[in-house]
Amino acid sequence: MLSIPARRTNDVTPSEITPREVFERRRDFLGTAAGFALGTALAPLSAALASEKPLASIKSPLSTPEKPTPLKDVTSYNNFYEFGTDKADPALHAHTLKTRPWTVSIEGLVKQPKTFAIDDIFRLGALEERIYRLRCVEGWSMVIPWLGLPLATLLKSVEPLGSAKYVEFISAADPKTMPGVNRSVIDWPYLEGLRLDEAMHPLTLLALGLYGEVLPKQNGAPLRLVVPWKYGFKSGKSIVKIRLVEKQPQTAWMKANPREYGFYSNVNPEVDHPRWSQASERRIGEFLKRKTLPFNGYADQVAPLYAGMDLKINF
């Protein structure tokens, strides 16, 4: 297991990490939070919001001690094709995204299908800081202090049926507010999927914020998936629907290019992308590459999920 020392909130000041636009969103976030019927579990979050102290004071035992990637890089170098295919496009264009009102439905093979307003999701549990090392298929990686709650919290509330084997995640695809949707880059809406046991794993996160702030639009506001042992495209952004199904989903990138993008997409240095090696990676802000770690360094936690599987075939 990872050794998890807590990161002090005074390691980085808000002025160093928070763009003005992101900081000003706190007002909207605080206004929403003020109406919460918070229980005991949310008391620390309530106090943090009320005092406008960084939410990073709320820690998760799953955090890594690695140095976080600077916020300016996390919020300006993104893959979010709904706003364009260039890494800078999301930060330039995502301001058009409307994140209120917003609902997320959970349906399919469940006993109690539900539709949650985004504020209902905040009510389910205190936000926890989770610093994950995320890598996408291009070979760059980041360490991000996410704020969110385990996906399992929502899934348990709808009581999955025994026939449910997989979970689909459908992202918003509004051509009026997401200009990239007007281009046939992939088959919209963006759809991703996990096996149910992957989705229920405590490392699988529903992220609502990062670096102590509500999630920026270019990073997948108001709600995105974070699966830290998989390549970044598995973590769908701006999710509007979660569906439990019996058969393995045909995900967006599997439809677009099944030779290059498999369903599992676990970080695996032994499986090269057809157009480049994945044995090494470059972390944003660093010049030299580093060796890619199996399962992105989370092998102790997640390797048992794939016991007996050939991960070169099930890539």
pLDDT tens digit string along 68-117? 899 999 999 999 999 999 999 999 999 999 999 999 999 999 999 999 99
Q: What is the mean pLDDT of the segment spanning 149-155? A: 93
- Residues in Cβ contact with 284 at an 8 Å cutoff, skipping those fewer than 6 apart: 69, 73, 77, 140, 141, 142
Q: In terms of Cα–Cα distance, which of 225, 232, 265, 206 is closest to 141? A: 232
Q: What is the mean pLDDT of the segment spanning 297-305? A: 95
Pairing of strands 224-226, 205-210: antiparallel
Write the DSSP assignment of 202-267 as a string of letters: TT-EEEEEETTEEPPGGGTTT-EEE-TTBBGGGS-SSEEEEEEESSPP--HHHHH-TTT--SS-B-
- Residue 313, pLDDT above cutoff 70: yes
Q: In terms of Cα–Cα distance, which of 216, 82, 69 is closest to 133? A: 69
Q: Show the tokens assigned to 178.
A: 């997401």
Lowest mean pLDDT among 24-33, 83-92, 156-165, 248-257: 24-33
Neighbour-count burial of 40, counting CB atoms closer than 10 A to its CB (0-12 exposed, 13-18 middle, 19+ buried)? exposed
The mean pLDDT of the chain is 81
Lowest mean pLDDT among 35-44, 122-131, 259-268, 272-281: 35-44
Rounded alpha-carbon distances, angstroms, from residue 271 to 233, 253, 265: 17, 17, 10
- Residue 60, pLDDT above cutoff 90: no
Q: What is the mean pLDDT of the segment spanning 156-182? A: 97
What backbone phi and psi angles, to 5 degrees, belong to 72? -60, -30
Computed over its alpha carbons, how large is the radius of gyration of the chain?
A: 19
pTM here? 0.81
Task: Return the pLDDT at 128.
Answer: 58
Rounded alpha-carbon distances, angstroms, from residue 267 to 199, 286, 299: 16, 20, 10
Residue 307 pairs in a beta bridge with none
* 268 vs 95: CA distance, rounded Å: 35
* 60 vs 39: CA distance, rounded Å: 19
Q: In terms of Cα–Cα distance, which of 133, 130, 145, 62 is closest to 282? A: 133
Per residue in 201-257, pLDDT tens?
999 999 988 887 889 999 999 999 999 999 999 999 999 999 999 999 999 999 999
SS3 of residue 115 by DSSP: strand
Give the chain's domains with CATH numbers.
Answer: 9-265 (3.90.420.10)
- Say which DSSP state 55 is in: G
